[in-house]
Structure formats: structure tokens, C-alpha cells
Structure 1
Amino acid sequence: MTRDSTARSARATKYQYVQAAITSDFGREAAGTPLPPESALCERYGVSRITVRRAIHELVQQGILTRQQGRGTFVCARDGDTSHPNELVDSRGLFTQMRDQGFHVSSSVLFQDVVVASARISQTLHVPAGSEVVRLDRLRSIEGRVDHLTRCWLDARKYRGLLTYDLADQSLQAVLSHDFAFTPRIGQATTRIVEVSGNDADHLGLVPTTIRLSTFMRIYGDAAHPEVCTETIYADAQASPTFTYISHSSAGKDQP
């Protein structure tokens, strides 16, 4: 292992350790329980503010925590399922949020075209079996290092126009809000562990069949069914914090 890859692994381990620790320490608290201030969490876990913010951001995306602007961060309601509905108080998307926090974020588009929806995607988006959907695959890097691969699906009847956009360097959520009159309001995340194989493993720099954390997100606007669904696979993970987190969040039946 090179010095650079060792440093990269250490950085990944820190925020994933904090994710697991916050989940363990606060995940079973009553819904609405506030988290301590960031400064207190930094002292508690012996990490930097950037690491705490990254860990909290991931837990918000996964529905474990919720942020309320001007008030703080709180524990979400839970029902024993793997799906965690969460109000999207910040609809800028990960790309814009991370950039606004001072991180250097870049994306490369791996796939952007219309495909026939699988049974799972048809059911999730509430479109007829065999319908066409827009699929967008992007590889995200943060501070110059590959962080995750995100795959998005949208109903082609509404969003075929996305094929004309260069989405390598802008937020999909921002484009949907500005040009397609879609404002995301609720996110419902399901977290699981997956074996990463084939091209996904190659893009993430992983050995095939490596176990990694994956999040499947359903994003709702004002309609009763999701407008967008996404699957994110993370490049870095350490077995101990990942499995500590999974053991807390996967005790349900709704695995996509």
C-alpha cells in the first residue's frame, strides 16, 4: 500500500468511524432529540470539524439525522424499517453543498442515455413495466480522490430533455429545480451492503466483489410517488464502522 493510499484510507476511516459512533450513541434516542454542537462532537470523538460535518451530512442523506436551518441537527423518527423518510431542508444536492463548504468536487459522466426500466425502477418510479427512463451515472471525486459512484433514474416522459445537459460539473437537483420545475422535498433512503463488481468496481478502483456501503434514495416532490431515484456506492469503507452502522439500520424488510 502506498503512502498516499494509506493517508486516503485513514481519512475515510475517520468520518466513517464518526458516522458509526454517532449512530451508536444517538441513533436510538427519541425522534427530535438534538445532537450536541459540532464543537462538542469534535471533542467527543477527537476529530476535526470537517470530519464531523462530513459524517453528519452522510447520516442526513441516509435519513438517520435531519437538519433544521437555524435550529440544529436532530434524530429522525424510526419505525424499525431500513427506509428513512427525511425532509430535504437543503435541496441543493451533494455536489453544491460540498462545494459551498469549501471542498473541491468534480464529476465525470459515465453514462447518460435512455434505457428500459428494470422491474425495481419501474416499481419505484410508478411507471409501467418496460417504460423508458433516463439513466445518469456519474463518478464523484472530492479533493481529487474518487469518493462515490451515483446512478440516477428519471421518467423519460418528463425528463428526456436532461440528455442535452452537461451534468459533469453541476448539480442535477439544481437543474431539475431551475429548468424542470421540480423541487425535491422528501428523501427516503435505504442503506445496505453490496458486492461491487464489473465496471462499477473498475471505476471506484476496487477489486471485484469488494463489499461496500450503498444507499438507494427515493426523492419526492409534491407528487405521491418519487420523481427521482438514485443509488450511490461509496469507494472507501472500513469493515468495522460499516458493519456497526449496517447492523443498526438494516433491521427491516424493505431492501431494494
Structure 2
Amino acid sequence: MEIDKRSQQPLYAQLMKEIKELIQKGEYEAGDQIPTEIELSEKYQVSRITVRRTIEELCTQGILVKRQGKGTFVEAPKIYRKVEKDNNMSFSESCRANGRKPASHVIACNFVEAEERQNEFLKLTDDKRLYHIERVLSADDLPIIYEQIYIPAIRVPDLQVEKLENGSLFQLLAEDYQVTEFAKGRSTIEVRTASKPIADYLKMNVGEPVMILKSYMNDEEEKPLYISYEIIVGSRYRISI
């Protein structure tokens, strides 16, 4: 396609339409790097200012994403997940519902003593040890969430954390501990920017926006079960609370 410089439609808007159509046709797929500003400028015979505005607009729309020092890439479609009180979806379920392949990688697992703010919810008395599990959740090999889970050792004796490597926490609890229903106690969500360690885990730029979802989960009897902190790449995820 040639950019029509006589058209009343702005040049950047024409170029946006062209790039969107190429993505829809599959010429640029999710994760693909698009040509550089110079290459696009030369190919379509427009200024680099026009190209830069086009890319910025497409990044704002979540269609492209800039990765510092690497270039501009086609962003994968957002995963939609429900974490509503009466309709809570696991990450694995939400991936499959969106036609994506879930995966998880356990970074670390160790014992910690419950802090006062954690024990306010968990209501532990004698054994206040918690399993602290850190992992990264991915969809089609693209990191989406850095997660920390705090679950009382007394609720999951002899936890086989290796089952969480490419596995589901919901499934592990159901199969090993017969916890088959979950009721969300409460959740909070806020927006921050990615620190260097988080950006490295999630393959994003330092300073990009992330959502922080804190969930306080109960079992089917409304007893406190665990607390999770999910740091989510905002451009790759959509949540219904």
C-alpha cells in the first residue's frame, strides 16, 4: 500500500491502518518485531515523525509494544480473566478460554513466618509458618504474571511444590488436599511501574505500568486458605473483578 499524501486522512492514520491490516493478515504475528522507524519511513515515504506518532498510537492501543534496546513488537492479544466473588477463574483456565497455552515456572519456595498483616486474614494460632512460593505465569511462552503465594504450612502438609512447575495451584489443591471450591475473601488492585527485577522476570521495560492484584482466598467453608500477590503486565491482561 502507498500512503496517499493528497488524502484528507492524516498520514499517521493511514500508516496505522496499514500496519493493523498486516497484523490481521498474519504478516506480522504476535511477538514479531516490526521494521525500524527508518525502515518504515523509507518504505512508505513518510517522515520519521509520522512513523513515531503511528507507533506511539499503536502502543497506546495495546497493538504494539516497545522494548528498550530491542525494538517494537506486535503485542499478543490480552487475556481476559474473571476474579469475581462467585465466578473465580484460575490463570490456567483463563488462558485456555482465550485459546492460549498456560505455563508456570517456580522461582523459589521456602518457609517464612506469617507477618501480622497476613495473620489478620489467615488467623493462625500455633503454627504460623507459611509456604512462600514465587513463580512466573506465562501464556504461549510470553510472561504475564509474577506471583507470590503465601499459604499456611498447616493447610498443605508435605506440599510437593514441583507440581506447580507448569501446573495449576487450583488443581494441586483439589487433587492433593480435596479443596475443590474457592470463595474470594477480598481483592484489591492498584497500578504501579515495573522495577528492574520484575521487568526482567516479565520481559518488559523498567517503568512500564503493571497491575498489582492482591487476593485473599477462602476455601469452600469460608475458611482462610491463602494470600496471593500478582504483578501483571497491564498491556497483556484484562481482569473482571
TM-score of the superposed pair, with normalisation by structure 2: 0.59
Q: Structure 2: how far apart are the matches of 1:160 and 1:51?
A: 38
Cα distance in 2 for partners of 1:130, 1:195 equals 35
Q: Which among 97, 102, 112 is matched to residue 99 of structure 2?
A: 102
Q: Deviations over 1:20-71 (max 9, x none)?
A: xxxxxxxxxxxxxxxxxxxxxxxxxxxxxx968x33x2xx21x3xxxxxxxx
Which amino acid counterpart does residue 184 of structure 1 have in structure 2? E
Matched, 1:215 2:213: yes
Residue 222 of structure 1: how far off its partner (Å): 3.1
Relative to structure 1, is the Cα distance of residues 166 and 185 closer, same or farther in structure 2, using a 3 angstrom cutoff? closer
Counterpart for residue 3 of structure 1: 34
Q: Which residue number in structure 1 is paired with residue 46 of structure 2?
A: none
Q: Secondary structure at the match of 1:166?
A: helix
Name the residue aligned to 1:137.
134
- Letter matched to residue 86 of structure 2: E
Alignment counterpart, residue 180 of structure 2, candidates 179, 183, 186: 183
Offset from partner CA, 1:72-105 (integer Å, 9 cap, x none): xxxxxxxxxxxxxx11366xx2214423653122
- 2:155–2:225 Cα contact (<8 Å) kept: no
CA shift in 2, pair 1:129/1:51, >3 Å: farther
What is the CA-CA distance between 1:227 and the residue it aligns to? Answer: 0.4
Alignment partner, residue 159 of structure 1: 156
Q: Structure 2 matches for 1:236-251, cutoff 5 A? A: 236-237=234-235
Residue-pair matches, total:
175
The structure that is helix-richer by fraction is: 1
Q: Distance in 1 between matches of 2:100 and 2:60?
A: 14
- Distance verdict in 2 for CA 1:235–1:96, change over 3 Å: same
Structure 1 Cα separation of the partners of residues 94 and 206 of structure 2: 31
Aligned residue runs from structure 1 range 1-80, under 5 A: 2-3=33-34, 13=62, 54-55=79-80, 57=81, 60-61=82-83, 63=84
In the alignment, the residues of structure 2 paired with residue 208 and residue 151 of structure 1 have an alpha-carbon distance, to the nearest angstrom, of: 20
SS of residue matched to 2:235: coil
Q: Which runs of 5+ in 2 are unaligned?
A: 1-32, 36-54, 64-75
Q: Which has the larger radius of gyration?
A: 2
Residue 174 of structure 2: SS of its match in structure 1? helix
Alignment partner, residue 202 of structure 1: 200
AA in 1 matched with 2:119: S
| Code of the aligned partner of 2:227 | C
Q: Among all aligned residue pairs of Structure 1 and Structure 2, give the percentage whose two residues are the same amino acid.
A: 14
Aligned to 1:35: none
Per the TM alignment, residue 189 of structure 1 is displaced from its structure 2 partner at its CA by: 2.0
CA distance in 1, matches of 2:219, 2:166: 24
Letter in 2 for 1:158: R
Cα deviation digits, residues 116-160 of structure 1 (max 9, x gap):
223322222222599210121111111221111121111111214
Query: Does the 8 Å CA contact 1:119/1:129 hold for their aligned counterparts?
Result: no
Label 1:89 to 1:212 Cα distance change in 2 as closer, same or farther (>3 A).
Answer: closer
Deviation, 1:198, is 5.1
8 Å CA contact 2:209, 2:234 repeated in 1: no
SS at match of 1:140: strand
Identify if the C-alpha distance between structure 1 residues 115 and 11 changes in structure 2 by more than 3 Å, giving closer, same or farther.
farther
Aligned equivalents of 2:92, 2:161: Cα separation in 1: 19
Question: What is the Cα-based RMSD across aligned positions, in Å?
Answer: 3.6
SS at match of 1:237: helix
CA–CA separation in structure 1 for the residues paired with 2:226 and 2:61? 28
Higher relative contact order, chain-length normalized (CA < 8 Å, sep 6+): 1
Distance between the aligned counterparts of 1:233 and 1:211, measured in 2?
10
